[in-house]
C-alpha cells in the first residue's frame, strides 16, 4: 500500500460542497488535499450542470446582482417556510434553520472567492435565486481560488474506505487511483461526494424496477460509494432514501450528463400523457415548487412520457434548454401526433374539455393568479387559460433524476453522526452525501445553497478541531462515553 501524501484537511469530492470546504480551510491557512473520483475534465459533479442558488434577498440585492425572479424582499424566514412547506414538514428543523441563516453570508463569501454572477434574470418562476454564468466556470474558479491558497487536487482518485485510529477518530482515506490503492492520511476529513442517483443498481433498489432506465441529468460519477464508505465506518443512514429530485426534462435528453434540459413554462399550458389525458395540476404552484417532483410523476405515466401543449400567446413563457425544438402545428391533434402521443384524438378532446372549464380573469404569469378551472377531475389551480389560438406548440418530456434524498446523518456543525447520534470525531459531511433535509419535494435552488453552506461550516468546525479549540479534540476513546 502506498502512502502517497498527508494533509491537515482532506476533502473528498470537488462539487460545491467539497469546493466550499476546501476554499474555507485553505483560506484559514491550512494544508488541504482534495480527492476527486472523476478525471479533471469531468470534475465538479452535479454542480457543473447547475445554475442558481436560492438565497434570501432584498430589493437592493436584486438590483445589484439580478435574480431569477424579482419578488422584492425574501427573508430567511420565507426561505425556511418554503423548505418546510415543500418537504411536508419533514425537514430537520435545525438543519433547515442553520441553512437559511447562513445562505446569504455564504453566497457573499463565494463572491469574494471569485464566483461570477449572471446579471440576466431568468423568467422561470417567482422564487428568488441568484444565478451564475456557467457551472464549469464556477467549478474552475473555485478550484483556482483553493489552489492559490495552496490546496492540492488529486483527480481519478476514488475514496473507498475511511481509515480510523484506535480511538475511532477519522485519520485517512484509502482510495483507488491510477497507481492502485493509495492511503491519504489527514487530521480531519470532510466528505462532499454527492449522492447515489447515478448508480443503476441503487436507482432500482430505492425507486423501482424501471428506474435503471431513468435519465441521469448530472454527473455519472455520483454512484454513492462514498455514502457506503461512511455507513461502513459507522455513520447513520438517514433521510428519504426512496425520495429524489426528479425533474421534468426533454425526452430527447442524453441518458446521462444531459444537464438542465428542462422545459420551463409548462405550468402555463397543459400536460397530457400517452392516453391523451391530463394527470397533474400544472398550475399547482410556481415552477420552482413543482418541477422537482414532476419528473417522477411523469415517469410513472405510460411510456414514461408526457406532452406539453401550449398555444401562440403562451409561447413567450416557455424556456426550453434543449435538445429538442418544439413541434408546431395548426391543431392540438396534429402536434400530439407528430410528438408521438399514442392517442392524439383523446388529447385534442381533453384540451377542448379543459378550455371549456376555463373562465380566466386577469392573467399574471408572475404570481399565483388564481385563474382556475372548475369541474374537471383534475383542476388547474392557476394560469388556466384556454389553449385555443393557433399555431399550437408541443414538447415531449420525461423524468430525469437530479439527486436522491437519502444520505448520512449530520448535525448543524456538519459533523457526521453515528447510529446513536454521537459525532464521529474528525469526520464532517456536506451536500448531497447527507440526508435529513429533503423529503417528497424540493424548493428549487436549495441543493447548491445547502452544499455550499454546510461545506463552509464543515471546514470551520474541522479547523476548530484541528487547532484544538473544541472539546472534540480531547474525545475519549470509543466505548468509554
Ligand atoms: C442538471 C442539474 C441541474 C441542477 N441545477 C441546480 C440549480 O440550479 N440549483 C441548485 O440548487 N441545485 C441544482 N442542482 C442540484 C445541485 O447540482 C446539487 O444539489 C449540488 O451540486 C450538490 O453539490 P455536492 O457538492 O453535494 O455534489 P456534487 O456537485 O455532485 O459533487 C460531488 C463530487 O464528488 C465526487 N465523488 C463522488 N464519489 C466520490 C468518491 N468516492 N471519491 C471521490 N470523489 C467522489 C464526484 O465526482 C463529484 O465531483 C442541479 C443538478 C443537476 C444534475
Query: Who contacts 247 (Cβ-Cβ below 8 Å, separation ≥6)?
Result: 217, 262, 291, 292, 294, 295, 399, 400, 402
316 with 259: CB under 8 angstroms? no
From 368, 352, 182, select the one nearest 278 (Cα to Cα).
Answer: 352
What would you report as the CA-atom Rg of the chain, rounded to the nearest whole angstrom?
23
From 150, 115, 132, 114, select the one nearest 54 (Cα to Cα).
Answer: 132
416 with 429: CB under 8 angstroms? yes
Query: Who contacts 282 (Cβ-Cβ below 8 Å, separation ≥6)?
Result: 266, 267, 268, 269, 270, 271, 380, 383
395 with 263: CB under 8 angstroms? yes
The count of C-alpha atoms lying within 13 angstroms of the C-alpha of 380, restricted to the half-sphere facing its C-beta, is 29
Q: Look up the pTM and report it.
A: 0.94
- The ligand 1 atom at the shortest distance from the C-alpha of residue 261 is 1
For each of the chain's 481 residues, which pLDDT tens digit applies?
566 679 999 999 999 999 999 999 999 999 999 999 999 999 999 999 998 888 887 777 666 665 555 456 788 999 999 999 999 999 999 999 999 999 989 998 999 999 988 755 544 444 566 777 789 999 999 999 999 999 999 999 999 999 999 999 999 999 999 999 999 999 999 999 999 999 999 999 999 999 999 999 999 999 999 999 999 999 999 999 999 999 999 999 999 999 989 899 999 999 999 999 999 999 999 888 899 999 999 999 999 999 999 999 999 999 898 899 999 999 999 999 999 999 999 999 999 999 999 999 999 988 889 999 999 999 999 999 999 999 999 999 999 999 999 999 999 999 999 999 999 999 999 999 999 999 999 998 899 999 999 999 999 999 999 999 776 544 443 333 3
Q: Considering only CA atoms, which residue is closest to atom 49 of ligand 1?
A: 45
Residues 369, 230: Cα–Cα separation, whole Å: 47
Q: What secondary structure, in 3-state letters, does 279-347 show?
A: CCCCCCCCHHHCHHHHHHHHHCCHHHCEEEEEEHHHHHHCEECCCCCCEEECCHHHHHHHHCCCCHHHH
Task: Compute, in angstroms, the gap from residue 47 CA to the centroid of ligand 1.
Answer: 4
From 106, 94, 99, select the one nearest 19 (Cα to Cα).
Answer: 106
What class does CATH assign to 2-236+409-474?
Answer: alpha beta
Residues 280, 286: Cα–Cα separation, whole Å: 14
> Hey, what's the cell of 240?
428519504
Residues 440, 89: Cα–Cα separation, whole Å: 10
The pick from 42, 46, 202, 454 for probing ligand 1's pocket by mutation, whose C-beta has the most ligand atoms within 8 angstroms, reads 46
Give residues (CB < 6 A) around ligand 1. 12-18, 35-38, 43-47, 49-53, 158-159, 192-194, 217-219, 221-222, 225-226, 259-260, 402-403, 431-432, 445-448, 451
Identify the sign of the CA torsion 432, 433, 437, 438: positive
What class does CATH assign to 244-399?
Answer: alpha beta
Domains 2-236+409-474 and 244-399 share a fold: no
DSSP, residue by residue, 38-54: S-GGGTTGGGGG--EEE
Domain chopping of the chain, boundaries: 2-236+409-474, 244-399
Amino acid at each position: 500500500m502506498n502512502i502517497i501524501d498527508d494533509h491537515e484537511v482532506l476533502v473528498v469530492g470537488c462539487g460545491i460542497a467539497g469546493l466550499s470546504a476546501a476554499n474555507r480551510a485553505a483560506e484559514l491557512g491550512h494544508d488541504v488535499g482534495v480527492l476527486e473520483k472523476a478525471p479533471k475534465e469531468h470534475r465538479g459533479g452535479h454542480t457543473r450542470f447547475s445554475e442558481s442558488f436560492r438565497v434570501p434577498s432584498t430589493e437592493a440585492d436584486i438590483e445589484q446582482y439580478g435574480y431569477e425572479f424579482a419578488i422584492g424582499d425574501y427573508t430567511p424566514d420565507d426561505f425556511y417556510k418554503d423548505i418546510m412547506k415543500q418537504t411536508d414538514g419533514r425537514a430537520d428543523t435545525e438543519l433547515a434553520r442553520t441553512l437559511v441563516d447562513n445562505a446569504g453570508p455564504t453566497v457573499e463569501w463565494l463572491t469574494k472567492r471569485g464566483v461570477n454572477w449572471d446579471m440576466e434574470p431568468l423568467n422561470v418562476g417567482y422564487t428568488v435565486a441568484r444565478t451564475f454564468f456557467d457551472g464549469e466556470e464556477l467549478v474552475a474558479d473555485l478550484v483556482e481560488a483553493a489552489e492559490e491558497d495552496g490546496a492540492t487536487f488529486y483527480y481519478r482518485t476514488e475514496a473507498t474506505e475511511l481509515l480510523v485510529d484506535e480511538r475511532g477518530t477519522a485519520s485517512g482515506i484509502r482510495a483507488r487511483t491510477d497507481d492502485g490503492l493509495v492511503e491519504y492520511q489527514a487530521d480531519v476529513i470532510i466528505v462532499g461526494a454527492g449522492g447515489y442517483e447515478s448508480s443503476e443498481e441503487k436507482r432500482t433498489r430505492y425507486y423501482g424496477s424501471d428506474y435503471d432506465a431513468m435519465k441521469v441529468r448530472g454527473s455519472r460519477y455520483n454512484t454513492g460509494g462514498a455514502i457506503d464508505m461512511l455507513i461502513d465506518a459507522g455513520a447513520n443512514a438517514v433521510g428519504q432514501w426512496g425520495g429524489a429530485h426528479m425533474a421534468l426534462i426533454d425526452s430527447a435528453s442524453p441518458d446521462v450528463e444531459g444537464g438542465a434540459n428542462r422545459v420551463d413554462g409548462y405550468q402555463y399550458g397543459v400536460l397530457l400523457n400517452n392516453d391523451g389525458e391530463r394527470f397533474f395540476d400544472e398550475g399547482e404552484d410556481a415552477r420552482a415548487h413543482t418541477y422537482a417532483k414532476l419528473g417522477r410523476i411523469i415517469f410513472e405515466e405510460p411510456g414514461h412520457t408526457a406532452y406539453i401543449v401550449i398555444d401562440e400567446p403562451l409561447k413567450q413563457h416557455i424556456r426550453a434548454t434543449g435538445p429538442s425544438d418544439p413541434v408546431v402545428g395548426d391543431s392540438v391533434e396534429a402536434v400530439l401526433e407528430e410528438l408521438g402521443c399514442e392517442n392524439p384524438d383523446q388529447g385534442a378532446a381533453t384540451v377542448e374539455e379543459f378550455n371549456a372549464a376555463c373562465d380566466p380573469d386577469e392573467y399574471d404569469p408572475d404570481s399565483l393568479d388564481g385563474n382556475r378551472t372548475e369541474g374537471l377531475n383534475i383542476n388547474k389551480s392557476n394560469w388556466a387559460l384556454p389553449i385555443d389560438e393557433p399555431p399550437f406548440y408541443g414538447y415531449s418530456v420525461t423524468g430525469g433524476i437530479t439527486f436522491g434524498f437519502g444520505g448520512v446523518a449530520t448535525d448543524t456543525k456538519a459533523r457526521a453522526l453515528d447510529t446513536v447520534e454521537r459525532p464521529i470525531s474528525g469526520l464532517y459531511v456536506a451536500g448531497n452525501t447527507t440526508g435529513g433535509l429533503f423529503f417528497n419535494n424540493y424548493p428549487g435552488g436549495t441543493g447548491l445553497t445547502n452544499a455550499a453552506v454546510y461545506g463552509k461550516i464543515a471546514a470551520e468546525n474541522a479547523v476548530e478541531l484541528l487547532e484544538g479549540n473544541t472539546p472534540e479534540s480531547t474525545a475519549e476513546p470509543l466505548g468509554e462515553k
